[in-house]
Amino acid sequence: MAATDTTTAATAPRTGGNPLRWLRRNIVTLAGLATLGYLILPNVVVMVFSFNKPNGRFNYQWQHFSTDAWADPCGVADLCGSLGLSLQIALWATLGATVLGTMISFALARYRFRARAGVNTLIFLPMAMPEVVMAASLATLFLNMGIEFGFWTILIAHIMFCLSFVVTAVKARVMSMDPRLEQAAQDLYASPLQTFLRVTLPIAAPGIASGALLSFALSFDDFIITNFNAGSTVTFPMFVWGSAQRGTPVQINVIGTAMFLVAVLCVLVGQVAGNRRKRSNP
Amino acid sequence: MTKNDQTQSSGGDVRLTGISKTYGSFTAVHPLDLTVPAGSFFALLGASGCGKTTTLRMIAGLEDPTTGTVELSGQDVTALPPYKRQVNTVFQNYALFPHLDIYENVAFGLRRRGIKSVKKQVEEMLDLVQLGPMARRKPQQLSGGQQQRVAVARALINHPQVLLLDEPLGALDLKLRRQMQLELKRIQTEVGITFVHVTHDQEEAMTMADTVAVMNGGRVEQLGAPADLYENPATTFVANFLGTSNLIEAEVVEAAGEELLLRAADTKLRLPAARCSATAGSGDKVLAGIRPEKMALAHTDDTGSLPDGHNQLPGRIKDASFIGVSTQYVIEAPGLGEISVYEQNIARDGRLVPGAEVVVHWNPAHTFGLDAAQDIAAGADLDEEAA
C-alpha cells in the first residue's frame, strides 16, 4: 500500500496537479489505513495459521487448510491446563490489584499524610524499572525468605506490577472529582457508606474499570516476571515459549485467535451499548 | 432524630448562638448570634471571603463550628452530621450527580430515606420546576438554568425545614438570573419553607429576601428588611455596599432639638437627630450620607426658586452620563470632593451639561448620619466588583 502512495506522489507533478490534489485530500485516510494494517497484520497471520495443517512440528509454513486444531483446541498436552492457570491468575491478580490500587488512589488523592510524596513515587517504580531486573530481585527475595515458587509467588508478583497501573488510572479520576458531589449526597441524607456506594464509586468506576482491564491483560500475557518466579508451574505464555523450542502446535494460534476475537467482541458490545444509550437520550 | 417523620412543608427557624469558625490563625466567622424566623426568606449578603458561605455550611453540617451552637426548630443539631439534619442545600454550580439522570437526581434524597414509591412525588416536583420532559436526560445535557432548577427540585422534594442556597444564581447570565430570582421567590411563597440565601449580589438579596444580614470580615454589620437597610445604613460599609451613597465629612455646629446643624466645608447642612447613628455633640465629626437618587440639581441661576428648607451644596458638573431611565451626574463640590446625583429623565434642563455651575439640593429628612471614625470608602470597591 505504501509503495502505491509513493508512486502517486512522484508522478503527480507530471500528470498535472490532479493526483496531487487527490493525495492531499486523502492523505489522512491513507495514513490511517496504513497504520491500521500495521496493527492488524500480525493478528491476521495468527488467525490464518490457526487453519493450517503443518507437515512437521513447526507451524511456520502454510501447507493446506484444515479445521482440525479448532475442533480439538485442547489436543496438545498441558495447553488447556496452562491456559486455565493463566486465566485464574489473571482474575485474582486483577481483583487484588484493583481493590488495593483503588484504596491507594483514594488515600493519595484525598488525604495529606507524612509519607504521601514517597508513596506517590514508589508506586510508579514497577512501571519504571526494567522488568527483568524486577523479576530477578523478586526471585531472590522469595528464595531468601524460603517461599516455594508456584501459584502464590506468581500471584504476588502480578498484583505488585499491576498496582501501579490501577493507581494511575483511578487516581486521575478521583482527583478530577468535584468534592461537592459527596457533600451534596450527605446533604441528601446519604450516610458515609451510602455516599461512597452511590456517588463516589459510580463516578470513579470508569477509572477502576480501565485499571482492571489493563491489569487483566498485563497479567495474562506476562512472561518475564512469571518465568523467574514460577518454579515448576507453567502459565500459558510459558507454555508457548516452552513449546516453541520443540515445535509450535496449531492450537496456540487457535487460543490466540479466540482471545483476540473475544476482546474485539467486548469492544464492539461496549460501543453498541454506548451508542444506544446516547441515542435514547439525545 | 430520624428524618423520616418529616413535617409537611412547614419551615423551621434557625438559631445560631455564639457560632464561630477559625482555620488555624484565620478567623472566617467571628462569634455570631443570628435568628432566622420560620418561613422567612433570609439573605446573607457580603463580598467573597466575608464568612457567609462558611456560616451556611455550618447550618448544613458540612463545617464544624469552632464555638457555639446551631438550633433547628428548637433542637440543638450542632453535633449531628449533615445527613441527619432536616436541611437541604442548593450548591453553587449545583453539584448534580453526573452519573444519574434528572429523575434519579431528584429522587436521591427520598431513596436514601428508604421511601419506595417515589414516582408520584418526583413527577410532581419536576412539573413544579417545569422539567417533566427532561426526566431521563443526564445533567450535562441541560442548560445552566435547567440544571439550577433540578438542584432546587432535588433539595425541595425532601420538604426540609430549611433550604440553604449557596450563590445559586451565580453561574447564570443576567437575564436568566432575574427570571430565576422571581421563580425562587414564587416557590418559597408557595411551599412556605424557610430559605437562607447566600449571595454577593446586593440587588439579588434585596429583590428576594424579607430580611438581609450584611456580612463583612466575618461579622454581621447590619441586619434588617431591605428597605430599612437601604434607607438607614448603620455603617459606611452598608451604605456603600448596598447601592451608592454620598458620604460628606461634616462637623456638628449645633445639637439642640430634633435637628442637628452641620458644617461641611463652608456650607450649613441639616440632619434629623433621629437618623444619626453616631453620638453627635457640638464639635463632633460625623458623616452625612445621602443617596444619589434623593438629590436634585438646579442651575445656579435658579437658586432662588429652590424649595424652602432644603440642604444645598454648590458645585460644578464634572461628568454626565445618560443611562435611559436617569442621568447620572458627577458634581465637583469645592472642599467636599465628588458627589453623584441621579436625576430622573422627566424634564431635562438643557443647561445641565459638564462645566455648568449648579446647586445640589435635597430634603434634609433624607440625610443620615454616621460615625466619622470609620473608613469612609469601606465596601465601595467591593460593590463594583460584584456588579
* Per-residue model confidence as pLDDT tens digits over B303-324: 888 888 888 888 999 998 888 8
Q: Which of A181, A188, A194, A280 to mutate against chain B (most B CBs within 10 Å)?
A: A188
Mean pLDDT of A149-166: 92
pLDDT at A19 over 70: yes
Between these two residues, B333 and B381, which has the higher pLDDT value? Answer: B333
Nearest chain B Cα to A279, which residue?
B137
Q: Which residues of A touch B125 (CB under 8 A)?
A: none
Measured CB to CB, residues of chain B less than 8 Å from chain A are 3, 60-62, 81-83, 87-89, 91-93, 95-99, 101, 108-109, 112-113, 136-138, 141, 154-155, 158
Determine the pLDDT at residue A6.
46
Grid coordinates in use for B194? 424557610
Q: Which of A177, A181, A187, A191 has the highest number of chain B CBs within 10 A, making it the mutation to test binding with B?
A: A187
A176 touches chain B (CB under 8 A): no
Domain segments of chain A as ranges: 79-234
Q: What confidence tens digit (pLDDT) does each residue in B247-256 have? A: 988 888 887 7
First to last CA, chain A: 40
Q: Residue window 182-221, chain A: list those with CB within 8 Å of chain B.
A: 183-191, 194, 198-199, 202-203, 205
Identify the helix (H) or strand (E) that includes residue B162.
Answer: strand B162-166
pLDDT at A8: 46
**pLDDT at position B265, please?**
81
Confidence of residue A9 (pLDDT cuts 50, 70, 90): very low
More confident residue, A7 or B375: B375
Residue of A nearest to B98 (CA): A203
ipTM (interface pTM)? 0.77
Contacts of A205 in chain B (CB under 8 A): 99
Which pLDDT band holds residue B10 (cuts at 50, 70, 90)?
Answer: low
Nearest to B89 among A187, A190, A280 (CB): A187
pLDDT of residue A7: 46
Q: pLDDT at position A63, please?
A: 82
Is residue B183 over pLDDT 90?
no
Nearest to B277 by CA among B292, B263, B260: B260
> Across all residues in chain A, what is the average pLDDT?
86
Q: Considering only CB atoms, which chain A residues are within 8 Å of B97?
A: 181, 184-185, 199, 203
**Contact residues for B243 (Cβ-Cβ < 8 A; gap 6+):** B202, B230, B291, B383
Segment B95-135, tens digit of pLDDT: 999 999 999 999 999 999 888 888 888 998 888 888 888 88
Percent of chain B with pLDDT over 90: 23
- E strands within B211-325? 211-216, 219-224, 246-256, 259-264, 267-272, 285-290, 296-299, 311-322
pLDDT reading at A241 higher than 70? yes
The model's pLDDT over B59-90, given as tens digits with 9 standing for 90+, comes to: 999 988 999 999 898 889 888 999 989 899 99
Gyration radius of chain A's alpha carbons? 25
Cβ separation A281–B137 shorter than 8 A: yes
Are the Cβ atoms of A202 and B91 closer than 8 angstroms?
A: no
Tens-digit pLDDT profile for residues A97-140: 999 999 999 999 888 888 888 888 888 888 888 999 999 999 99
Q: Which tens digits make up the pLDDT trace of A188-236? A: 999 999 999 999 999 999 899 999 999 999 999 899 999 999 888 899 9
Q: How many CB pairs under 8 A join A and B?
A: 69
The span from the CA of A192 to the CA of B105, in Å, is: 18
pLDDT in tens, B345-366: 887 778 888 888 899 999 988 9
Q: Which domains does chain B have, with CATH numbers?
A: 14-231 (3.40.50.300), 246-386 (2.40.50.140)
Residue B50: other Cβ atoms inside 10 A: 26
Q: What confidence score (pLDDT) does residue A279 get?
A: 63
Give the nearest partner residue to B97 out of A191, A199, A281, using CB atoms: A199
The answer to whether A245 touches A189, Cβ cutoff 8 Å, is no
In total, chain A counts a number of residues equal to: 282
Q: Work out the pLDDT band at A14, boundaries 50, 70, 90.
A: low
**Contact residues on chain A for B91, CB-CB shorter than 8 A:** 180, 183-184
Between these two residues, A75 and B8, which has the higher pLDDT value? A75
Is residue B42 within 8 Å of residue B36, measured between CB atoms? yes
Choose among B88, B101, B136: nearest Cβ to A188: B88
Pairing verdict, β B194-199 and B41-45? parallel
Report pLDDT digits (tens) over A26-49: 999 999 999 999 999 998 998 998
CATH of the domain spanning A79-234:
1.10.3720.10
| CB-CB neighbors (< 8 A) of A208 in chain B | none
pLDDT at residue A144 greater than cutoff 90? yes
Contact flag A180-B91 (C-beta cutoff 8 Å): yes
Per-residue pLDDT band at A90 (split at 50, 70, 90)? very high
**Any residues with CB less than 8 A from the CB of B151 and at least 6 apart, and which?**
B90, B91, B94, B95, B96, B168
Q: Please report the pLDDT score of residue B256 as a whole number.
A: 77
B-chain residues near A189 (CB < 8 A):
3, 83, 109, 112-113, 158
Residue with cell 515459549: A241
**What is the residue-averaged pLDDT of chain B?**
86
Spell out which residues of chain A touch residue B83, defining contact as CB-CB under 8 Å. Answer: 186-191
Whether B342 shows a pLDDT value over 80: the answer reads yes
Report CB contact under 8 Å: B108, A190: yes
Q: Which residue of B lies nearest to A197 if distances are taken between CA atoms?
A: B112
Exposure string for B277-312, b = 16+ CB within 10 A, e = fewer:
bbebeeebebbbbbbbbebbbbeeeeeeeeeeebbe
Say if residues B66 and B24 touch (Cβ distance below 8 Å): no
The Cβ of residue B37 has, within 10 Å, a number of other Cβ atoms equal to: 14
Nearest C-alpha neighbor of B287 from the set B239, B358, B217, B224 = B239
pLDDT tens for B148-167 read 889 989 998 988 889 999 98
Answer yes or no: is pLDDT of B50 > 50: yes
